[in-house]
Structure 1
Amino acid sequence: MNVLLVGINHTTAPVGVRERLAFSETGLPVALQRLLAGGSVSEAVIVSTCNRVEVIVVPSLPTAEAVEAVTTFLCDYHDVPAGQIRPYLYVHQSSAAVRHVLRVAASLDSMIVGESQILGQIKRAYALAAAANTVGRHLHRLFERAFAVAKRVRTETGIGAHAVSLGSVSVELAHKVFDHLTDKVLLLIGAGEMAELAAKCFFEAGVNSLFVANRTLAHAQHLADCFNGGGRALGLDELPARLHEADIVVASTGATTYHITPAMVRAALDRRRYRPLLLFDLSVPRTIAPDVAVLDNAFVFDLDDLQRVIAANQRERRREAERAEAIVEAETVAFMTEADRLDIGPTVAALRERLTDICAAEFERHRKRLGPLTPEQEAAMRQFLLEGIVNKTLHPLILGLREAARQGSELVDLRRAFALDSVSLKTDAVAETDAANPHEEPGSQRLYR
């Protein structure tokens, strides 16, 4: 299967280069149609995320020319000089391209191995290309297989089971302290991006009650309003009086003094009747005094604690990734084997039909020279002699076709040599025979359907 992939990602190009080649979702249909209009490819899908831009195509030209055409398309579409992006591009062809697509869908090529967002992004890219009519049978089969492989990796490995972000690790630890989170109250100290990401993780895990404490009350209210209106804003001076209402505290400020002290937590625990209080300090410098950790029923985790959990989880993901890589490799081999059979099938069928027509035409041309034959003899000659000639002629050609397909070579030359894509044309052999034997019955039978 001759698939070509040209792209850049977070491992080959800095964000300043990636953002220059990024496609907007609204602009993708036009970009895809423009790529096909150039005539260098017959099918195309473009995957554009914050970490990668990849153009997956079925080329209509030899590989080197198709790579140059796709590169030129990227440069022209984004008005970027080729010299500024060529050093960052990678190219995969045939089985390497298939393997890469499967790895990306299975999140093995992601910045955070095992993350789930990339599969949705690839599905969206495929849907946009299908809607733009730039997907044919080859890329349809490839992406359907990619989606199935991604699902298999998720099902058969634990690649996504171990949290590796600060927010998701915090939720994982919260589940170890509390039986469930649906009735728990989350208190954010700070209203920045890190606080918002943590809140999203907790709300996705079932928390639905939120306080946001911040130096600027308006910023706190804005963040609180982002979560279904279920949040309430507090001033930092309200923390001592309201801390006992929280079950989980996430602090992420830029303050140089402690906003949470042992005395505050001790008082809160008294009012909570010593129900557990879970505190995450994502700040540098720290917002929660280290001595809080010695209090009974106060569970404190700072950035170093969370990073140690993340490191352990990443090791687990790497072990699971090895299992996932084996799945991808097996699926790549299986897909290419199936693709080889499917790719040469139409060519073999057309070639068999063409050779059968040639043999039949030549038999008719020379039938008179064979003398009288019974119907049974004539039928036997047609069935066994002509079919045998076709089969023996086809055998080495089929072996060559299979090898060409495995290597990703195109079958265009063979189809052109036998005029397999033409209609109602005489073969050169018959035409030459007509010219050389003007007194014989001309080979006017249409050989090509």
Structure 2
Amino acid sequence: MSKTLQQLGCLSLTYKSAGLDELNRWTVSPDFQPAQLRQVLSHAGLSELLVISTCNRLEFYYFSSDKAPLPTDLLTSWKHVSDFDPTLWSAWQGTDALHHLLSVASSVDSMVVGETQILKQIKDSLAVATQAGTAGKYLHLLIRSVIEAAKRIYTETRIAENPVSVSSMTYRFILDHADASLPLVLIGAGDVIRTMAPYFSKMGRYRFCFVNRSVEKAQSLADQYGGRALSLDDFLAEPPDFSALVSATSADHTLIHSDWIDRLNARHGERSRLLVDLANPRDVDPGVTAQTSIRLINLETVERLAEANNRSRIDEIPVVNRILGEESDRITALFADRDMDELLRFFPEDVSGIRDRAVNKLLKTRLNHLSEEDQATIREFAGYLSDKIVQVPYLRAKQRATSEPVRTDDQPAG
């Protein structure tokens, strides 16, 4: 195993062992992360360090030329958190740390299996560590290799296919059925709509019409994401034209009925419209589907499809794990090659120096009677031998990594 890879360590706190409140206690503002990284690097005696910080995990990845740092030394230099429970944290070393990072990057270890945004978060973490001066050549090699492995997994498996969250499922329905030239109506101002608004806004495809019983709350969302704001009463009394609507209010009765659809069609003409009802109890009366131009999707349908998609992703995990094993071997061999390069970096110069000193001494003493032409031949032959000697360690390392037979240029292939 690579000596450098043996120095890799990971200290991790995730949603699996701790709640969001505990994770939030360890959160450091992005503006202060570079300074904190430098402080941890110095205090814990590390050679390289980066931190992956998301809403579901906080993980330290480091290289340490000495023995692994004590978790308490690392954590207390990151942030002062009183009365924390060290048993909530997990630690890995060497190839175990590599395997864990591969699982994180491939989303196998994520709360939502197959969500690929973790790759961007890992890249951003490396950028912050690079800015802080705590990421060196080994972390860059590690992260670059792990990202390549994750991209292979997302390409060769179906683990990231089909949406599994309510927001992504809803967006897929709207993308498939809605006319982007008309506003997207979002009714409500609770967690569901506040989660979806940035998701839809990031796509940059739709204009919004925010609707809420409190027009001030609707206006707040419109100010943040753009679009129009209406009170629920105004919307129901004089509905604007749209081709897609998402409703997620806390009302205890239905808001949209067949007669409202009739008034909508009378104002704007009958057209194909998608209604996504994510409320519980329902905001939309199922009777609206009596009109063939209306397609209604309720929360139960979205959740059922999301669960089916999630099961199909989980079914891919054995295939993913096989690829992770192959990629772990590849990265381990890559670090072993890098170790060999470091070990042999000055070897050619050392051999050349020994050769020149030995040949010069020989030609000045025991072989001083030779002509200049013969001495040149001796020097040429000595150079040839030393070049072949220099090749041997590299070829042996290649043989160990690939099981190929050792060959020099003088040996025939096959």
Normalized against structure 1, the TM-score is what? 0.74
Question: Is the counterpart of residue 57 in structure 1 residue 53 in structure 2?
Answer: no
Per the alignment, in what secondary structure is the counterpart of residue 12 of structure 1?
coil
SS in 2 for 1:160: coil
Report the secondary structure of 1:222's partner residue.
Answer: helix
d(CA) in 2 for partners of 1:239 and 1:268?
10
Q: CA deviation at 1:127?
A: 0.9
Q: Deviations over 1:295-328 (max 9, x none)?
A: 3222112211100110122133334555444443
Tell me whether 353-362 or 209-218 shows the greater mean CA deviation.
353-362
8 Å contact from structure 1 (residues 44, 135) kept in 2 = yes
Q: In the alignment, which residue of structure 1 is the partner of 2:31?
A: 26
Matched, 1:113 2:113: yes
The answer to whether the Cα contact below 8 Å between 1:184 and 1:207 also exists between their aligned partners in 2 is no
Indicate the SS of the match to 1:239.
helix
Q: In 2, Cα distance between the equivalents of 1:118 and 1:14?
A: 19
For residues 76-114 of structure 1, give each alpha carbon's deviation from its aligned partner in whole angstroms, at most 9, with x where no partner exists: 4322368612343232423x3233333323333221122
Aligned to 1:220: 218
Partner residue, 1:12: 17
Distance (whole Å) between structure 1 residues aligned to residue 207 and residue 129 of structure 2: 41
1:66 aligns with 2:68: yes
Post-superposition shift, 1:270? 4.9
Distance 2:120 2:56 in 1: 14
Which secondary structure does the structure 1 equivalent of 2:225 belong to? Answer: coil
For residues 24-173 of structure 1, the aligned pairs below 5 Å read: 24-38=29-43, 40-61=45-66, 65-68=67-70, 70-80=71-81, 84-94=85-95, 96-173=96-173
Alpha-carbon spacing, 1:155–1:38, altered in 2? closer, same or farther (3 Å): same
Q: Which amino acid aligns with 2:10?
A: V
Q: 1:177 to 1:132 in 2, by over 3 A?
A: closer
Counterpart position of 2:308? 312
- 2 CA distance for matches of 1:285 and 1:109? 34
Deviation at 1:141, TM superposition (A): 0.9
- Partners of 1:169 and 1:82 lie apart in 2 by 41
Instruction: Tell me which residue corresponds to 1:339.
Output: 335
Separation in structure 1 between the aligned mates of residue 201 and residue 368 of structure 2, nearest angstrom: 91
Deviation, 1:119, is 1.8
SS in 1 for 2:181: coil
Task: Return closer, same or farther for 1:358/1:136 CA change in 2, 3 Å cut-off.
Answer: same
Larger Rg: 1
Distance 1:12 1:131, change over 3 A: same
Q: CA 1:71–1:380 in 2, change beyond 3 Å: closer, same or farther?
A: farther
- Gaps of at least 5 residues in structure 1 are 406-449
- Secondary structure of 1:312's aligned partner: helix
> For residues 376-401 of structure 1, what are the alpha-carbon distances to aligned partners after superposition, in whole Å with 9 as ceiling and x for unaligned?
79x979978xx79x969x989x989x
Give the superposition deviation at 1:197.
Answer: 2.6
More off after superposition, 99-108 vs 214-223 = 99-108
SS at match of 2:9: strand
Q: Report the residue type matching 2:68 in the other structure.
A: A
Equivalent position to 2:230, from 230, 233, 238: 233
Please list the CA deviations of residues 236-276 of structure 1 after superposition, one character each: whole Å capped at 9, or x if unmatched.
Answer: 22233334623212111111111112322243345454312
Deviates more, 1:351-360 or 1:316-325: 351-360
1:139 shift after superposition: 1.0
Q: CA separation of 1:317/1:271 partners in 2, compared to 1, >3 Å: closer, same or farther?
A: farther
- Tell me how far apart the structure 2 counterparts of residues 18 and 287 of structure 1 sit (CA, whole Å): 35
Partner of residue 410, structure 2: none
Residue identity in the other structure for 2:135: V
Return the letter of the residue paired with 2:9: L
Instruction: Pick which of 138-147 and 357-366 moved more.
Output: 357-366
**Local SS of the residue matching 2:31:** coil
C-alpha RMSD of the superposition? 3.9
How far off is 1:347 after superposition? 1.6
How many residues matched?
394
Matched to 2:87, the amino acid is R
CA–CA distance in structure 1, aligned partners of residues 246 and 364 of structure 2: 97
The answer on whether the counterparts of 2:215 and 2:229 sit within 8 Å (CA) in structure 1 is no
Q: 1:203 to 1:137 in 2, by over 3 A?
A: closer
Percent identity between the aligned chains? 27
Superposition pairs for residues 167-246 of structure 1, below 5 Å? Answer: 167-178=167-178, 181-205=179-203, 207-228=205-226, 230-234=227-231, 236-243=232-239, 245-246=241-242
Q: 1:373 to 1:73 in 2, by over 3 A?
A: farther
SS in 2 for 1:183: coil
Cα contact 1:244–1:269 (8 A) shared by 2: no
1:8-58 residue CA offsets vs partner (Å, 9 max, x unmatched): 222232223322222321222112212222362211111111111111111
Tell me the equivalent position of 1:411: none
TM-score w.r.t. length of structure 2? 0.79
Q: 1:154 to 1:231 in 2, by over 3 A?
A: farther
CA distance in 2, matches of 1:342, 1:208: 50
Q: Distance in 1 between matches of 2:362 and 2:87?
A: 61
Whether the aligned pair in 2 keeps the contact of 1:75 and 1:82 (CA below 8 Å) is no
Give the unaligned 5+ runs of structure 2. 402-414
